[in-house]
Structure 1
Amino acid sequence: MPYKPMLRIATPIFTQDHQKAGIFVLNYLANDLFSLLESSSTVADVMLLNSDGYWLKNTNHNLEWGFQIPERKENNFFKIYPEEAAIIYAQEQGQIESPRGLFTFVTIDPLQTKLSAQGSTFYRWKLVSMIPSLILEGRRASIRNRFKIMAGIIVVLFSLGATLFIMEYERRKKFLLT
């Protein structure tokens, strides 16, 4: 990760007669944002991706900032998760399950300006939460086991109730016949 992860957003400033007067640059030290993402989940891998699929934040820090660090240039979301990336980058938000896990995602447009409305996707990010398939299957197995236990208890209670009902029925029948 860069020494100071900086999110820099710039937009031109125009005068009333539409002449370019300058550029407004907002520098945001992203440590707080990244710390929040890191602590937001204990089960899922939370990732923040830029428009080219490079990680701004990942649980595996060796994948971060590939667009700035030459030896990480080959590692991006499109290369590591090609099938999932094709779906995630084609939609604004959603959830998909693949053999690799459950991906939940939303598109973030930090500018939300007319520029973005005109079709610029350069400043659009993807916030992706991925629960690996191994963890997901473990959770599902746990839920299935709980349902099996509950179903077993219900069957035992139903059988006990049916047995008591039949015993009472036979007792009354015998009483009426004598």
Structure 2
Amino acid sequence: MKILRSNDYRRMPWKNGGGETVEIAVSPDRAPLSDFDWRISMATVASDGHFSSFPGIDRTLSILEGAGMTLSIEGRPPKLLTVADAPLSFPADIPTSARLSDGPVTDLNVMTRRQRLKHRVRRLRLEGSQSVVSSARELVLFCHRGSVVLTTEGVSATLHAFDTAVLVHPSTINLSAEIASEVFLIEISPS
């Protein structure tokens, strides 16, 4: 289990230069935007505009803060995405643009290289205990709100808001939260 604290994340410009992204985790470690296997980041979208194109990449977007935005993804009807919606998956190499509903939003962005990997993103709201069983090659837990204790194979760690845990070949993970908390469960597996 590797714990990543929010104050250690890297800040970098968007690929298209239209804003700033906070890189939470990337594999291989410190891989550039042109050569990652998987990448998890947060971004604040402050104006309407086009998304960066990532050839050969699949993406899942979740809204963390703000009123939401309408995504125009080529070949699909426009989709309003808000904090209440499930994460939305789409290819990162087709033209996509966003129109903000009412002011800036902060999103969570998960990307995997299509030829090598696939991913699934779930939002879990916790108060109390819950077990998670996964057959993923890697499991990433991103704590969005509150504080969560995770335990696996006799090892425990506490994630506070915006902290992350990366686990390799996990089987069962026990999560507990004394206050209402929210985590994103990101499963990464071979394609």
Q: TM-score, normalised by structure 2?
A: 0.23
Q: Which has the larger share of strand? A: 2
Q: Which has the higher helix share?
A: 1
Greater relative CO (CA pairs within 8 A, separation 6+) = 2
Q: TM-score, normalised by structure 1?
A: 0.25
Q: Which structure would you say has the larger Rg?
A: 1
